[in-house]
Amino acid sequence: MISNQQFDNDEEKVKLCKDYFIIGCFFLPMIWLVNTVWFYPMAFSPRKFKGKMTMRNYVILSFVGFLFWMTLLIAWIVYFHTQRLQCGIYCDQLMYLNPMGTV
């Protein structure tokens, strides 16, 4: 993986930030988390450079997208674990069960 320090100019960093945001749009919220953590110090530093507002927008959108998907995932996990028995056959069809003695 290319480290953040290997890029010489700021435009390449902004492009990489945009690429990570777009990759995260394909249901990969962890890429958004990486984008947020990796580019946050540069996007919110006092140093001025061309494309800083664009990078800042991508970092904020990545963080909001990450929070959205994690909220959905946690809500689904909590619902599934607490309501599985009341849900009936639908939740049983979502599970993969190995009958005893077949493994």
SS3 sequence of 46-75: CCCCCCHHHHHHHHHHHHHHHHHHHHHHHH
Question: pLDDT for 12-37, tens place per residue?
Answer: 999 999 999 999 999 888 999 999 99
As a whole number of angstroms, the distance between CA 56 and CA 39 comes to 8
Q: The tokens of 25 are what?
A: 């749009």
Q: What is the pLDDT of residues 67-99, one digit of tens each?
A: 999 999 999 989 888 887 787 777 777 777 667
